[in-house]
Chains A and B, each alone.
Chain A
Amino acid sequence: MPKLKPLVLLGLSLSCAALINSASAVTLTVGLDADPPRLDPALSSALVDRQVMNQIFDKLVDLDVNLKVIPALATSWKVTNGGLLYTFKLKSGVKFTDGTVLDAAAVKYGIDRNRTLEGSVRKNELSSVKEVKVIDPQTVQIVLSQPYGPLLAVLTDRAGMIVSPTAAKKEGADFQNNPVGSGPFVFVSRVRQDNITLSANKNYWDGAPKIDKLIYRPFPDGDVRYANLLSGAVQTVTPIDPKDITKLEQNAKFSVMNYPGIGYQGVWFNVTRAPFNNKNFRQAVAATIDREAIAKSIFYGTVTPAAGPFPPGTSAASSAITVQKPNIALAKSKLGGKPLTFTLLTVPGSVTTQLAQVYQAMFAQAGITAKIEQVEFGTLLDRADKKDYDALMLGWSGRPDPDGNIYDFFVTGGSNNQAGYSNKTVDGLLAKARAQNAMSARIATYNVALSTIINDTPYTWVYFQGNQVASVKGLSGLKPIPDGILRFKDVELK
């Protein structure tokens, strides 16, 4: 018996410790609308990946609530040589969560990896980068082959996320399943379609997070997401369906953040074949759309009617471009008595289906007949590439710099130019805008380009998306940053 005593005592104290630990450990569960497919900054092509990667990786620079670029790993930066040379001073003493040092060499490795790795989706964003140079352990330079104003904004997203070179080399293709960065949270495990679990980085350079464990869970169905928030299985959900917002706002247990985003939605017209190689037909269709009515009736006012690619509140938003009002008489005159029948391509989903039917009804007011065809997203993109469609519904998640919302979409041969649109004047203006550094000069250039694009109508903007986040009342510190990515470093849960 005396022999057993110390063992019993040890057991007791251990279970007490476990109890205290579990009592004080704060776990926050976040509901997402999809399972993030690839947790590798170079390979990620889904918006939802960024929700998780933002906690695991630090970026060179970040965004604040006004979309201003603010210091992160880089404490300061200078742009010289007519916009060709970016010099970044790095924070010292930063370590990756595998214990290795984050210095200029690691930053060079991260950016080079993003722009060269086979299959990297970042190549396009970083195509103007000629070279990354290590000056000293705390100084890194990015040399451009041509001026590229959006560079800083690009570095606030995946292109600027710095991966641990040691881990990336060791894991190879499997890095996306074992991501290592220097961010406020550390990747622990993932079970596909069930959860991604992160734990607090206790040694984070900016102080440890107030949450010990962060769990992401995917709920593709909006009603299921809502039910899980109500039942307490998750404490934060994004996005929440517009129809559930009023109910949550009236419920004292929850709070809702509903703030503007940086993305847009609208309709592409295939200008390379009939019927939409006829500009009048494109203008006629665009003129039938009642953007205000759509924002109110389908989205319960959670979106804003769109005039162009730059949402209100972003740097390039301009009052010179106004929202197009529906004008059935104009549409009819553009048709000139000719019949117009076409197929509207879209993806399945309750909101997209509803929206497609509303469009159909609006087109019909001018005597335009649209047939709706639904295909899944990959097929839609594929058919857009092959120009095998008449018109299609497709938007963009948005980028903080205006260039990311317009350039690739309307420049001749651009990777997102679904219409097959080509206009030499527009090409010149878009190239000029990205080479300009002062935002006022860029806005002026964009406005000239936009007046042509809107008149040519390869695309018609319909609405700007919003970000909808619902949380339990005990959660505080979440900032409404327009890129829609939730940052949990300073979030508290009581």
Chain B
Amino acid sequence: MIAFALRRLLSAIPTLLIVTLIVFAMVKLLPGDPARLILGQEATPQALNELRRSLGLDRSLPQQYFSWLTGALRLDLGTSLTDNSSVSHLIAQKLPVTLELSLFAMLISLLISLPAGILSAVRRNTWIDRLLTLLALSGISLPNFFLGILLIYLFSIRLAWIPASGYTSLLENPQRNLLLLLLPAVTLGLGSAAVLTRYLRSSLSETLTQDYVRTAHAKGLTERQVTSKHALKNALIPYLTAFGLQLGGLLGGAVITEQIFSIPGFGRLLIDAVFTRDLPVIQGVVLVSAVAVFLVSFLVDLGYAAVDPRIRYH
């Protein structure tokens, strides 16, 4: 198992290097000039040149890339162009917020999708399956921004139960923290639950038609035993993949949801950085997102290997 994990980690190094190159190139390909954006309409050509020089934008691209890459290896992602604070510090400030929101959302998603998916598969083609399918499809089709505004309207404006937006850290006030994160987590969790329910339904339905399930039935096991002991364990593998992808996606920035609920997380950091052309911040956020997605998929792989020993020896 340890050898498998090491092999998997080593194989990631070239991938991550390519990611850094793509991130760097992508940001450089964006049209526009950060100096122009920072100085706004009042800039004089002289001030623009001064700023470009102090931002290092006058150096050659390979020079800029290498200094960024060697910095990134030392966890130094440069300084923000807008307010001169360190990018690593900004990310360290925002990442826990998004991490907490994502985990909360995935918990909600898990609590909904597991029972709903199993129920749907076991009671295939009954009214309950059709109802769950309908709900899941609406959940997939409903855009986050719409659901978010709907929840704000209902729970913050009409019922006045939950503040419309904001964030308090878990350490400062746990109760308020959970209250404020509830609506955004539900917004994100419902969408992901809908997807995961469909995944679980289809994989479990398929497993339930397999020969070994029939054998288990023939041995005289109860329906419940067959489903939970034999079928579910196998059906969970694709579910786990989908779960990992969803979580990775959330960590990469729940951009719209954070914008609507004014949560100072990773996604908003990225949006603001894009609008203010804050290149070091964009590079840092995208790089950390890529690493986060890699880590999640790595953990999912380890999870597979634990569930299915055959995978380890590939």
A residues with a Cβ closer than 8 A to B are: 35, 37-38, 45-46, 118-121, 123-125, 173-174, 176-177, 191-194, 217-221, 223-224, 227-228, 230-233, 375-379, 381-382, 385, 394, 396, 415-416
Contact = CB atoms under 8 A, between A and B. Distances in A.
Interface in B59-116: 82-85, 90, 93
A119 B51 contact: yes
A38 B83 contact: yes
10 contacts: A38-B83, A123-B47, A124-B44, A221-B259, A224-B260, A227-B164, A232-B160, A233-B163, A381-B36, A415-B43
A224 B183 CA distance: 14
B41 A177 contact: no
A475 B11 CA distance: 61
A233 B84 contact: no
B152 interface: yes
A382 B31 contact: yes
Please classify the interface of chain B as helix (H, G, I), strand (E, B), loop, or mixed, using the class held by over half of its residues.
helix
Nearest to B275: A376
Interface stretch (B221-229, B236-244, B261-269, B306-314): B261-269
Nearest to B264: A194
Given A192-B90, A233-B163, A378 B42 contact: no
Contact of A191 (B93, B152, B272): B93
A232 B163 CA distance: 8
Contacts of B153: 227
A316 to B, nearest CB: 20
Contacts of A379: 31-32
A231 B157 contact: yes
B259 A230 contact: no
A223 to B, nearest CB: 7
Contacts of A231: 152, 156-157, 160, 163-164
A35 B38 CA distance: 14
Contacts of A177: 83-85
Interface residues of B, number: 49
B165 to A, nearest CB: 6
Given A121-B40, A193-B268, A227-B152, 6 more contacts: A35-B272, A45-B43, A118-B50, A193-B264, A378-B37, A381-B37
B272 A217 contact: no
Interface in B140-166: 149, 152-153, 156-157, 160, 163-166
A192 B272 contact: yes
A348 to B, nearest CB: 10
A221 B260 contact: yes
Interface of B: 31-34, 36-47, 50-51, 54, 82-85, 90, 93, 149, 152-153, 156-157, 160, 163-167, 259-260, 262-264, 268-269, 271-272, 274-277
B84 A45 contact: no
Contacts of A223: 149
Given A37-B82, A233-B163, A233-B166, A119 B272 contact: no
B165 A174 contact: no
A231 B164 CA distance: 6
B138 to A, nearest CB: 22
Given A177-B84, A221-B260, A118 B268 contact: no
Contacts of B271: 220
A233 B163 CA distance: 6
A197 to B, nearest CB: 13
A385 B42 CA distance: 12
Contacts of B51: 119
Given A192-B264, A231-B152, A378 B160 contact: no
B269 A192 contact: yes
Contact of A382 (B36, B84, B272): B36
Contacts of A124: 42, 44, 47
B276 A121 contact: no
A66 to B, nearest CB: 25
Contacts of A192: 83, 85, 90, 93, 264, 269, 272
